[in-house]
Amino acid sequence: MRQIVGEFQKIADREIRSSDMMASTSEGAPAAERDFMEIIEPLKKDLEEIKRSCEELEQRSAELQAGITLTDMEECQSVLRRVSEDRREIMILPHLCSRVVEDCEKMKKELKDFTE
């Protein structure tokens, strides 16, 4: 996208410079040149508008990319926080598992005692 915008800007700049040079030499020019200049002037305005539009598109593109990058960074931070929390839980997990196993063993023994 940036390459396309850049190419349009280069073309617009070149055409604007070309029409500016022709305008400066048009005084005292033959009628055909004046007619040609009448055709060129609206085109020059169109090219200037295209150039402005390209600059705006490039700015919007950069803004969108910055927004996407910011969102990705925030998501990465969120994942890192969750990983940190998971690490803490993993440290607690063995203790909880051993308690569950002990409780099951205790329940098994109590049920065995109850049925005898």
Asked whether 40 and 21 are in contact (CB, 8 A), the reply is: no
In the chain, the number of structural domains is: 1
Residue 4 has a pLDDT of: 67
Q: What is the pLDDT along the chain (116 residues), one digit of tens a residue?
A: 566 666 767 776 776 666 655 555 545 557 777 888 888 888 888 888 998 998 999 899 989 999 999 999 999 889 888 888 888 888 888 888 899 999 999 998 888 887 77
Supply the range of the domain harboring residue 9: 2-115
Residue 8 has a pLDDT of: 66
- Whole-structure pTM value: 0.46
